Each structure stands twice: as structure tokens, then as C-alpha cells.
């Protein structure tokens, strides 16, 4: 897993930890926003 993450999500100036730490909150944010829209329209 670590190998795959390093291969696809690491660069010369950043590693996959940086990429995932950026991506994680954005996914959570969008998921919560979707949940809010869904619960409002339900």
C-alpha cells in the first residue's frame, strides 16, 4: 500500500502524506455538504 501511495501520490517536493492530508478534509467537507443537501431535501 505504502509503495503504491508513494509511486502515485508522491513527488520530488512532497510525499503522499502531504497529498492525503490535503485531500482528506476536502472529501469529508464535500461529503458533509452532500449530506446536508440530502437531509434538507428529504
In the complex, which residues of this chain contact other proteins (CB under 8 A)?
Answer: 8-9, 11-14, 18-19, 21-34, 36-42
Minimum distance from residue 5 beta carbon to other proteins (Å): 10
Minimum distance from residue 40 beta carbon to other proteins (Å): 5
Task: Answer whether 14's CB lies under 8 Å from 23's CB.
Answer: no
Report which DSSP code applies to 12: S
Minimum distance from residue 2 beta carbon to other proteins (Å): 15
Residue 39, burial from CB neighbour count under 10 angstroms (0-12, 13-18, 19+): exposed
Amino acid at each position: 500500500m505504502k509503495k503504491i501511495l508513494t509511486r502515485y501520490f508522491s513527488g520530488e517536493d512532497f510525499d503522499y502524506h502531504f497529498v492525503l492530508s490535503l485531500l482528506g478534509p476536502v472529501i469529508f467537507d464535500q461529503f458533509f455538504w452532500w449530506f446536508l443537501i440530502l437531509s434538507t431535501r428529504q
